Amino acid sequence: MSKSIFDLFPPPRFLQMAPVGLSISDSALRFVDLRGSNGKIHLKAFAEKVIPPGMISGGYVHNIEELTKIVRAFKVEHDLNFIRAALPEEKAYLFKTEIPDTAEDSMRDSVEFKIEENVPLSVSNAVFDYSVIQKHKNNEAANHTDVIVSVLPIKVVSTYIEVLESAGLTPVSFEVESQAVARSVIKQGDKNTYLVVNLGLEKTSLYVISSNVVHFASTFILSKETTMRGLELTASFADKAALEKGASCDALWMQEVANEIQKLFSYWHTHEDKQGELGKHISKIIMCGDHPELGLCIGPVSSSSKVPVTLANVWTNAFSFDEFIPDIPLINGNGNKDSSLKYAAAIGLALPE
């Protein structure tokens, strides 16, 4: 029988502390601690720790012992305890299906029956969660509920649990990275459809999000030439003069990322799902991620897109800038290597449920 993520680690009964959001990517650990008072949220703390190349790739942890040491040191340095963590997008399967309109407590069983029809995993080796998109109530024969289902191999989830618990952390919940990012950058209750581009040094993820739910997710690895260009920029980023000499995102975007975006637009707007429905019109492209040239990529991607392109406001569900200004800039600049756009997943995890 398949398991919910929550079945693997029941939340402690004594949760008095607010859990922080912790994202673990191929390149870094990042945490965000959001605290609330008087009905308002503020940023208490944040930090990142670079992970050596190759320790995690494609969502797999290749050196559990060394990663555990890094996570443990990160925990001690920042006094972390309870966390909400992100699971790697690359190893998740995402599909839309319809299930009979049943009682809430039996809905999970109905979703479980659909897993082996849609993903190459046996139910016994799968961990899954789902989000309700829409309930259809036409007549008794046609009543059904549309859901989006996320499925991961239990082996992958267990590895991350092992690392975190061995490092002394207490996982309260897990969420697939794309949904964590969506919770950060899309206003709660927004019914529109967006493409979120999560641009990294070595890989880029594309998420189609509609009504706050991730409907499609894809990750591709950038070419070696693109990756090396990004690493060179990171190494020299403190040199402001080098940036002002014309550091540009054009080559990266026009040759690879923009092509992938165009492919996705074509697929999304022309491909019918199993229910015979086309994807809803994508109204905007929203960009986040940890690539050092991210702030320069708006122009190149806008020139190849028919919809508006903007940098993400990762604090959109946390606070208004009229009420609170976080101690972290939106983008890299003026010799500062940090950027709130790196922390989209961690922020989404840290937001109150």
**Per-domain boundaries in the chain:** 3-350
State percent of the chain over pLDDT 70. 80
- For 335-349, what is the mean pLDDT? 86
State the CB neighbour count (10 A cutoff) for residue 93. 17
> What is d(CA 330, CA 302) in angstroms, rounded to the nearest whole number?
19
State the burial class of residue 305 (Cβ atoms within 10 Å of its Cβ: 0-12, 13-18, 19+): middle
Kindly report the pTM of this predicted structure.
0.86
Q: Per mean pLDDT, which range of 21-35, 286-300, 310-324 is the poorest?
A: 286-300
Question: What letter represents residue 94's amino acid?
Answer: L
What pLDDT was estimated at residue 58?
A: 86
Is the pLDDT reported for residue 338 higher than 80? Answer: no
Q: How far apart are CA 11 and CA 174, in angstroms?
A: 11
Asked whether the predicted pLDDT for residue 116 surpasses 50, the reply is yes
Q: What is the mean pLDDT of residues 126-134?
A: 89
E-only strand ranges, 211-297: 213-221, 284-289
Structure confidence by residue, pLDDT tens digits, 222-255: 665 555 555 454 444 444 433 344 445 656 666 6
* Overall average pLDDT of the 109-118 stretch: 91
Confidence of residue 275 (pLDDT cuts 50, 70, 90): low
pLDDT score, position 21: 97
Q: For the domain covering 3-350, report its CATH number.
A: 3.30.420.380
pLDDT of residue 17: 57
Q: What is the spatial distance between Cα 268 and Cα 215, in angstroms, rounded to a whole number?
A: 10
pLDDT at 249: 63
User: Cα–Cα distance between 79 and 155 in angstroms, integer?
Assistant: 28
Integer angstrom CA distances of residue 300 from 182, 216, 254: 23, 24, 7
Give the percent of the chain with pLDDT over 90: 52
Confidence of residue 279 (pLDDT cuts 50, 70, 90): confident
Tell me the mean pLDDT in the region 23-50. 91
Residue 175: φ, ψ to 5°: -145, 140
Identify the residue with better confidence: 226 or 99: 99
Would you place residue 74 in the very low, low, confident or very high pLDDT band (cuts 50, 70, 90)? very high
